[in-house]
């Protein structure tokens, strides 16, 4: 099991430069990976299409021109608080770096995540 989040943005992401500990991330095909002992984080950046990867209505109200999304996944779901804090740091950096991003759970449960971001400037 894992924890999935989505960070929506108008401008594209500049990866891995916008990640914490940017030099430790590895690109595997189309996703970035940060690996540690017993856990890892995956980030899949993609461009929104009309038929796939579309944000929900609430997200579009906050960020109508959302055209880029980064799916952030922490595995395993039973990660400790420090690992969840690292994911929070990733999400916040992506949101702040793009200037106008919003966050929503990819699936509706966040477990112990404390993140609730709206449109940021």
State the fold for domain 3-105: TATA-Binding Protein (3.30.310)
Backbone angles phi, psi at 97, to 5 degrees: -70, -30
Predicted TM-score (pTM) of the model is 0.81
DSSP one-letter string for 5-44: EEEEESSPP-TTTTSTTGGG-EEETTEEEEEETTEEEEEE
**CA–CA dist 49, 38 (Å, integer):** 34
Q: Which residues are CB-contacts of 7 (< 8 A; sequence separation ≥ 6)?
A: 69, 70, 72, 91, 94, 95, 101, 102, 103
Q: pLDDT tens track of the chain, all 121 residues? A: 567 888 888 889 999 999 999 999 999 999 999 999 999 999 999 887 655 667 777 777 778 888 888 999 999 877 888 898 899 899 889 988 886 565 656 544 433 334 444 444 4
Residue boundaries of the structural domains of the chain: 3-105
């Amino acid at each position: 099991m894992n924890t999935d989040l989505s960070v929506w943005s108008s401008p594209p992401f500049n990866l891995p430069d916008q990640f914490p500990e940017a030099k430790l991330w590895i690109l595997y095909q189309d996703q970035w990976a940060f690996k540690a002992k017993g856990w890892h984080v995956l980030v899949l950046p993609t461009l929104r299409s009309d038929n796939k990867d579309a944000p929900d209505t609430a997200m579009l109200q906050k960020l109508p021109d959302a055209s880029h999304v980064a799916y952030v996944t922490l595995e395993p779901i039973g990660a400790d608080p420090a690992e969840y804090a690292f994911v929070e740091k990733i999400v916040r950096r992506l949101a702040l770096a793009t200037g106008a991003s919003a966050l929503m759970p990819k699936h509706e449960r966040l477990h112990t995540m404390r993140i609730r971001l709206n449109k940021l400037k």
